[in-house]
Amino acid sequence: MGISFDKYMGVQVDALVLRSKRSEILASNLANADTPGYKAKDFDFKAAMADATGNRSEFSKTRLKMVTTNNKHLQMGQNGFSPDIQYRNPYQPSLDGNTVDSGLEKTEFSKNSIYYSASLRFMTGKFQSLTRAIKGQ
């Protein structure tokens, strides 16, 4: 009987991919905090995770998707899904049109890093227990 790593790891692989993508977006926001006219971006992690695992709500199942004429028009994520990246609504935009709130971005980046580390530790534990099972310990 074979072992399916996808089933064994659960949603952690998808969570790592999404957390990594979110880290890139948040880092980009922080890097452009002083760029005039830059609009802060982010995505809803819960909705992206539900989309990745196929556990979408009835509302999101009826959501309209963009129609393309060629498969190369939209680049999908590694697992065949990509989060819906949206502009963040600013609490107080600057006079130059920049909507990055450095404090908020740092907080979100820190939270995302903690969740990423937790998923990584969970996966490490899964691999360690699988290794012990293979060795018969």
pLDDT tens-place string over residues 78-117: 444 567 888 988 888 789 999 999 999 999 999 999 999 9
Residue that has been written with the tokens 């600013």 in this structure:
90
pLDDT score at 112: 96
Q: Which two tokens stand for residue 110?
A: 């820190």
Q: Contact at 8 Å (CB) between 108 and 115?
A: no
3-state secondary structure the chain: CCCCHHHHHCCHHHHHHHHHHHHHHHHHHHHCCCCCCCCCEECCHHHHHHHHHCCCCHHHHCCCCCCCCCCCCCCCCCCCCCCCCEECCCCCCCCCCCCCCHHHHHHHHHHHHHHHHHHHHHHHHHHHHHHHHHHCC
User: What is the number of other CB atoms lying within 10 angstroms of the CB of residue 52?
Assistant: 21
> According to the model, what pLDDT value does residue 60 have?
46
Segment 40-50 shows an average pLDDT of 90
Q: Give the confidence band of 71 by pLDDT, cuts at 50, 70, 90.
A: low
Domain boundaries, the chain: 5-135
Contacts of 29 (CB under 8 A, 6+ apart): 38, 40, 41, 42, 88, 100, 105
Hey, what are 127's tokens?
């691999």
State what percent of residues in the chain have pLDDT above 70. Answer: 79
